[in-house]
Amino acid sequence: MSQGPTVLFTYDILREDEKLLLRALKELARVNPIHIPSTPLQIGNPNRVAADIALVRGVSGRTALYGAIAVESWGIRSINTPESIMAASDKAYTHLSLSRKGVPQPRTLVSTDPQAIPMAVRDIGYPAVVKPVKGSWGRLVNMVRDEFEAQLVAEHRSYLGVDLRASIIQEYVEKPGRDIRTFCVGGEAPAGIYRELSGGFATNIARGARASPVRLDRELEDLTLRSCEAVGVEVGGVDIVEDLRGGYVVLEVNPVPEFKTTQRVTGVDMAGIIAGYVVSSARR
């Protein structure tokens, strides 16, 4: 066992990403894993757990957020912070944060009532993209091409739970059949991938998009780091599209990114880089 610092590792499901991270962390540090779903978390009890730093993971956004809240309440620095996870979990708030840093984004409206979606889409212009304010993996993301589809999406949304009724409505950015996922780790941008469409218009790997390495030019690197800084994440993923009208546009920032595909196609040791950053942060 390593004699390095002690790292809390909070998680819910042990995917390949989490296993890679655990393996990398154990080479550098003592690791104390906490399975959040089976562990009631006392909040507001400093020194409850002895650790130098925490790496917060979670397939579920709530697992990541509540894990971060708990460990920070124990006086342990969390990567990422609860504030940044909250900011990145809400696409409207992310938009505000990125706007404040001048990060280019699609024109965006927010609607708390599904009945207002058709009006928002008319304002944006067809085609538009309607997304729940919370969520990822491209779920419930719809392209709306006309008034009929806008009414249809509004009706579907009205039957969903309260958490999924709030939507953002964005202009559809014409892209070259792919988008880009880049990563930031502690102020560096170590890698990125193209995600090529495999049908439909969503380019999430979870939905079957194909991945290939992207060379990070200065603009991509700058956008990646500015986006993560804007939201406050130290370890994050940034979704970027190449606008056919010119330049890049940032769609969202992910505070608990999967990276196994990026590691596989780029050969960059993402798990080792993240683990190294966490351990070096504990020593500072």
Binding residues (CB under 8 A) for other proteins: these are 11-15, 18, 33, 35, 37-38, 58-62, 64, 134-138, 181, 204-206, 237, 254-262
When the beta carbons of 207 and 226 are compared against other proteins, the nearer one is 207
Q: CB within 8 A of 267, min separation 6: which ones?
A: none
- In angstroms, give the least distance from the CB of 253 to other proteins: 11
When the beta carbons of 59 and 225 are compared against other proteins, the nearer one is 59
Alpha helical stretches, state H, 82-217: 82-89, 91-100, 117-124, 147-158, 162-165
- In angstroms, give the least distance from the CB of 148 to other proteins: 29
> Residue 188 in 3-state DSSP?
strand
Task: Label residue 44 left, alpha or beta by phi (over 0 means left) and psi (-120 to 50 means alpha).
Answer: left
When the beta carbons of 13 and 244 are compared against other proteins, the nearer one is 13
Distance CA 144, CA 128 (A): 5
Distance CA 70, CA 41 (A): 6
When the beta carbons of 224 and 262 are compared against other proteins, the nearer one is 262
- In angstroms, give the least distance from the CB of 246 to other proteins: 27
- In angstroms, give the least distance from the CB of 27 to other proteins: 17
